[in-house]
Amino acid sequence: MRNIKLVVEYDGTSYCGWQRQKNGISVQEVLERCLKNILRHNITLIGAGRTDSGVHAKGQVANFKTKSDLPAGKILSALNSTLPNSIKISAIEDAGRKFNARFDAKTKLYRYTILNRDASSPFEWRYSYLYRSPLNIKIMKNEAKVLLGRHDFSSFQALDIIARPSIVTIKKIKVTKAKKYINIDIEAKGFVYNMVRNIAGTLIEFGRGRFKPGGMRRILAAKNRKLAGPTASAKGLCLLKVNY
């Protein structure tokens, strides 16, 4: 039995997320359907991260088991010729038998992109959140530093009735500006639900002056979602890379 590793890119706009669901078409479902047609048996994909509805990926990783002897290169060609333009495979290889895309991942790197100008872009509107008012990048950088390390991120966890662990270690967090784009990069082994989008929404509130400088430490310590900023739009979020 072979264990095949894929690196997947997708535009998540039209999908209900990575994971197969009953309420819509997922990236996983489309990929599994194409693989079944190519390999002539049912396929179950294991993904490194369960990106939500509307979230994109440039470096999602998945693996699956198959008895097929079709070379990896031919599987790649067949997949990319049958997949929709919104999903493509950038790399494929035979992995070790025990490789698991989800459990073997050391860290995941996400990027939240803000387009900070008056008008949207016809080329980037699907992949960035438009914020028209000026944002203070220096304040955003300073507040982001508070989140580095191991903390209880209850203040940035989605409010619902499901109890989830809220302790996360952020390995890296960086806020950068390139022309009219502000990127928020966050790397961690795991994340609480909606964590990156909630952090992005909170940093925007600091950047526009609604939250006073120095307030991030109080928000984090309070463990209260209501004190943080709004959940930023899903379309600005992208899974850039999974590290093993």
Catalytic residues: 52
Q: d(Cα 207, Cα 181) in Å, to the nearest integer?
A: 14
Q: How far apart are the C-alpha atoms of 244 and 241, rounded to whole Å?
A: 10
Residues belonging to the binding site for substrate are: 110
Helix (H, G, I), strand (E, B) or coil at 242: strand
| Residue 207 in tokens | 């950047």
Angle between helix axes 27-39 and 72-82 (nearest 10 degrees) is 120
Regarding beta strands 237-243 and 181-188, do their DSSP bridges make them parallel or antiparallel, or are they unpaired? unpaired
Residues 6+ apart with CB under 8 A from 138: none
- Token pair, residue 111, equals 């990027």
Residue with tokens 């493509």: 88
CB-count exposure of residue 72 (10 Å: 0-12, 13-18, 19+): middle
